[in-house]
Structure 1
Amino acid sequence: MGILIKNGEIITAADRFVGDVYCDGGKIVAVGTGLVKQGQDDVVIDASGQLVFPGGVDAHVHMELPFMGTESSDDFETGTAAGVAGGTTSIIDFVIPGRGQDLLDGLAMWKEKAKKAVADYAFHMAVTWWGDKTAREMEHCVREEGIPSFKTFMAYRGAIGVDDVELIQVMEKAKELGALVTAHCEHGDAVVALQQRFLREGKTTPRYHAESRPAPIEGEATARAIMLARMWGEPIYIVHLTCIEALDAVAEARRRGQVVLAETCPQYLLLDDSVYDKPDFEGAAYVMSPPIRPKGHQDALWAGLASGLIQTVATDHCPFHQVGQKDMGRDNFTKIPNGAAGIENRLGLLWTYGVLTGRIDANKFVDLFATQPAKIFGLYPRKGAILPGADADIVIFDPTATSTISAKTHHHRCDRNIFEGFEVKGKARYVIVNGRVQFNDGKLDVQRGAGRYLPRKLDKVSAPVRQ
């Protein structure tokens, strides 16, 4: 049974036109005008007055992640379902082995967890330590598992963080394999020292999570990661960039032709650090790393998106309940699990506060939301495109619909929403995943386990990307 989408305004990263899309067998078969049904049972969706986008690709999520003595509250089923409700039809999660655990043991764990996914998924592999087998396991990931991207944490010392020697070893091996290193950039030792100082001084509230991880600490680590990548001739992707200092380091590297790619997230574009002063421990809902920044950084990030310094907007979706999880750190901010929900809200927030405010245009929106993450991480044109042969992952978007974000109505399995009360104009009316309508006018119709694993291969990562 095919699906024929008629008379929608199709918006891609490069084009905008009124036309039709015909899907069959889980693929886009034709894009044009005057298309007609090919089978008697084909579903016809009249998209007149609606916008048609490729399904979103969120390249940075953490479903059911064991972390800080608990586990993120969305599993692969509920998290990908929330994504579908928000127009995200593919995710890239992170396999994060414990320090001392073999990479492939961690991969086996994540493969098992991901069997519940309702939408397609891929993996990044985190290298959390360097051992005798690490280089061989990285090679296996790239050549046998289709995992050509490796995550490194410059924070979380003593847990999943790596030191500079280990980071260099990862870069050397990734260079040999043609893989991409991604980096969480914070000066881990400085963070620990500030945390200890604040605790000695009796400063235990969520505000001091942010104070212990100030913007210069992110800026320094970003510059250091970029320098090491430069020395080893390895491209690098900076995850969840939040601040002017880090953006400046990216801009300097790009000016000299270095291959540096970057992502940011809606929370860093739209919130400021006043959220940590909310009463009754509500500031804990916003505890994430890096933290929300003071006013001023947000405008710089929007400018970075518009200029091309930042290529993607992901979510770092990693939710924890306020009650029963975040409150583990009520008397000690270092024990508050780091992370928040966001996969369902990326579409509406980027459209409302990016496109409708004139900060980015509609084509840039599609590029940030779907096309660039697919291209960078080896999923394009299967994902992130409305082209014949691409997977039939499509969002039909009503630009006139309005809604208010709330934990009472979202699909995240989490008791808080960091965008609570945000007014959004425009929402997904239909979301087609793998050629099947899985979201229809507010109603999810997903299938547990329907998501497919997406092996990836990177192309042209080492070609300079300039502004």
Structure 2
Amino acid sequence: MRTIIQNGIIVTASDTFEADLLIEGEQIAAIGRDFPLEGADVIEAEGCYVFPGGVDPHTHLDMPFGGTVTKDDFTSGTTAAAFGGTTTVVDFCLTEKGKPLKNAIKTWHEKSKGKAAIDYSFHLMIGEMTEDVLAELPSVIQEDGITSFKVFMAYKNVFQADDATLFQTLIKAKELGALVMVHAENGDVIDYLTKEALANGQTDPIYHALTRPVEAEGEATGRACQLTSLAGSQLYVVHVSCEEAVKQIESARRKGADVWGETCPQYLTLDLDDLRKPDFEGAKYVWSPPLREKKHQEVLWNALRTGALQTIGSDQCSFDFKGQKSLGIDDFTKIPNGGPMIEDRMSILYSEGVAEGRISLNQFVDITSTRAAKLFGLYPKKGTISVGADADLVIFDPFTVRTISSETHHMKVDYNAFEGKRVKGVVQTVLSKGKVIIQDDTYKGTIGDGTYIKRAKYSEQLRNSALAERV
């Protein structure tokens, strides 16, 4: 199969230029001009940008939580991702203490095999560090191609691991060439504040945020950074929501620590007032870390602009408002944590970032695709436009304006956190491995064409680049 994308403006993390793309099979075969059109499928991209497909490093599809399961599974979630311009996702395998890690990996393969619209991979949760876990980790990397481990510092008595587990994970990751990810909130403090709120009859959704203060996120982020420095290892802080956490990451990087930070579209555009909406509407915005006061938004945007934060994940974790979020109508601690973000991740960053002059086009590509591909062992097959790379491509109309709505989105969930928001820029066409899967807001692909990717180890090149990019 031979495809030509012509007359587009190609944008990578480092360059912007006009050229045509020749695609043969699943890969980009050439970049240039005047390719012979005979026998080729020709896609016209005049007036549009051509981006590498987005890489979403943070999703929770078909995930059990709080007595229920996320509304979007690997079929609906990856299809919605494709409509939004994302062509690769990395989902989280949740493990159980006392049980083999391979059990969790097998379960996630059963959830995803033959069901994905785009390519995908897995992170692996580490909830404890035992001799059995230590013994399994090398094969997790070598055989399963899972080269990133997540440790929760929050959700006491559910997911939360102790500092010894985090530290040992960091040490082992350094030895094996893996990247450690942390959900950085002080779970013990949050547990105390939560119990106190409930004892005082404070049950509304807003108390989800008030019992998870910025200080709890800042402290845990700083602790994780310090332990990373002590171990001489590498760390990726997920879903950074506030100035206190940004400062800890900035400080660690200035001192030479190999630390990276991710934020999410919800923290860039929504704020604490959304949790105060009446008639339990605030429950739609319950996730962790919680939404913050509006002043933190510009701090996060500035951190993306300066490189203090490097990626944007969706933290996709969707639950219906009716029937799922409503489980906590009388107790905010029973509201399933999470929101539907996977489809609008790139639109939000382009419209609020590039179109508003907060970040450049090249930064947009780096933040939504290239940097995550590098950090998580997917580059250069994913995350860039170059000869030999997978033909995962997005043709993007930067001028058209659309309104986000649950009535038109492609997720299964019954609401959209960005309902009514007008965004500039529309995904026109998406290719996955050379095949058109989205065109003019219509799905043209085949469910199951998305394949599992075994990822490369975290590289010394990235460690060196972290030192070179001190902020």
TM-score, normalised relative to structure 2: 0.97
Q: For residue 288 of structure 1, give the secondary structure of its aligned residue in structure 2.
A: coil
Describe how 1:210-221 pairs up with structure 2 within 5 A: 210-221=209-220
Shift of 1:168: 1.4
Aligned mates of 2:100, 2:195 — CA distance in 1: 31
Query: Which residue of the partner structure matches residue 30 of structure 1?
Result: 30
Query: Which residue of the partner structure matches residue 179 of structure 2?
Result: 180
Structure 1 residue runs of 4+, over 3 Å off?
none
The percentage of counterpart residues that share the same residue type is 46
Shift of 1:65: 0.5
Query: Which residue of the partner structure matches residue 55 of structure 2?
Result: 57
Aligned mates of 1:249, 1:231 — CA distance in 2: 15
Structure 1 position 466 matched with structure 2 position 470: yes
Query: Which residue of the partner structure matches residue 282 of structure 2?
Result: 283
Residues 99 and 159 in structure 1, CA contact (< 8 A), matched pair in contact too: no
Structure 1 position 298 matched with structure 2 position 276: no
Query: Which residue of the partner structure matches residue 192 of structure 1?
Result: 191
Query: Which residue of the partner structure matches residue 9 of structure 1?
Result: 9
Describe how 1:295-444 pairs up with structure 2 within 5 A: 295-444=294-443
Residues 268 and 292 in structure 1, CA contact (< 8 A), matched pair in contact too: yes
Match of 1:110 among 108, 111, 116: 108
Query: Which residue of the partner structure matches residue 132 of structure 1?
Result: 131
Query: Which residue of the partner structure matches residue 140 of structure 2?
Result: 141
Aligned mates of 1:202, 1:240 — CA distance in 2: 29
Q: For residue 319 of structure 1, give the secondary structure of its aligned residue in structure 2.
A: coil
Q: For residue 439 of structure 1, give the secondary structure of its aligned residue in structure 2.
A: strand
Shift of 1:98: 2.5
Query: Which residue of the partner structure matches residue 246 of structure 2?
Result: 247
> Which structure 2 residue ranges, 5 or more long, are not aligned?
none
Aligned mates of 1:10, 1:89 — CA distance in 2: 17
Q: Which amino acid aligns with 2:75?
A: E
Shift of 1:416: 1.0
Shift of 1:176: 1.3
Q: Which amino acid aligns with 1:119?
A: I
Aligned mates of 2:438, 2:16 — CA distance in 1: 24
CA-atom RMSD in angstroms: 1.0
Residues 55 and 394 in structure 1, CA contact (< 8 A), matched pair in contact too: yes
Query: Which residue of the partner structure matches residue 71 of structure 2?
Result: 73
Q: For residue 58 of structure 1, give the secondary structure of its aligned residue in structure 2.
A: strand
Which piece of structure 1 moves more, 10-19 or 122-131?
A: 122-131
Residues 354 and 360 in structure 1, CA contact (< 8 A), matched pair in contact too: yes
Q: Which amino acid aligns with 1:10?
A: I
Deviations 1:296-336 (A, max 9, x none): 11110000000001010111001000011000000000000
Residues 262 and 313 in structure 2, CA contact (< 8 A), matched pair in contact too: yes
Q: Which amino acid aligns with 2:104?
A: G
Q: For residue 319 of structure 2, give the secondary structure of its aligned residue in structure 1.
A: coil
Residues 63 and 69 in structure 2, CA contact (< 8 A), matched pair in contact too: yes
Q: Which amino acid aligns with 1:102?
A: P
Shift of 1:189: 0.5
Q: Which amino acid aligns with 1:247?
A: V
Query: Which residue of the partner structure matches residue 226 of structure 2?
Result: 227
Query: Which residue of the partner structure matches residue 21 of structure 1?
Result: 21
Aligned mates of 1:101, 1:219 — CA distance in 2: 32
Residues 212 and 289 in structure 2, CA contact (< 8 A), matched pair in contact too: yes
Residues 237 and 260 in structure 2, CA contact (< 8 A), matched pair in contact too: yes
Deviations 1:38-64 (A, max 9, x none): x62x21011111110000000000100
Deviations 1:108-134 (A, max 9, x none): 000111111111001111102223310
Q: For residue 222 of structure 2, give the secondary structure of its aligned residue in structure 1.
A: helix
Shift of 1:390: 0.4
Aligned mates of 2:172, 2:134 — CA distance in 1: 6
Residues 242 and 292 in structure 1, CA contact (< 8 A), matched pair in contact too: yes
Shift of 1:342: 0.8
Q: Which amino acid aligns with 1:462?
A: R
Residues 223 and 249 in structure 1, CA contact (< 8 A), matched pair in contact too: yes
Aligned mates of 1:212, 1:250 — CA distance in 2: 23
Aligned mates of 1:421, 1:265 — CA distance in 2: 19
Which piece of structure 1 moves more, 170-179 or 195-204?
A: 170-179
Aligned mates of 1:279, 1:102 — CA distance in 2: 44
Residues 152 and 160 in structure 2, CA contact (< 8 A), matched pair in contact too: yes
Query: Which residue of the partner structure matches residue 91 of structure 1?
Result: 89
Shift of 1:34: 2.0
Aligned mates of 2:214, 2:197 — CA distance in 1: 17
Shift of 1:90: 0.2
Aligned mates of 2:172, 2:256 — CA distance in 1: 22
TM-score, normalised relative to structure 1: 0.98
Deviations 1:241-294 (A, max 9, x none): 010000000111111111110000000011110001111111101100000111
Aligned mates of 2:42, 2:336 — CA distance in 1: 46
Which piece of structure 1 moves more, 128-137 or 425-434?
A: 128-137
Residues 234 and 462 in structure 1, CA contact (< 8 A), matched pair in contact too: no
Deviations 1:74-114 (A, max 9, x none): 10011000000000000000111123332110000001111
Residues 99 and 160 in structure 1, CA contact (< 8 A), matched pair in contact too: no
Which piece of structure 1 moves more, 435-444 or 451-460?
A: 451-460
Q: Which amino acid aligns with 1:258?
A: A
Aligned mates of 1:319, 1:446 — CA distance in 2: 23
Aligned mates of 1:47, 1:36 — CA distance in 2: 17
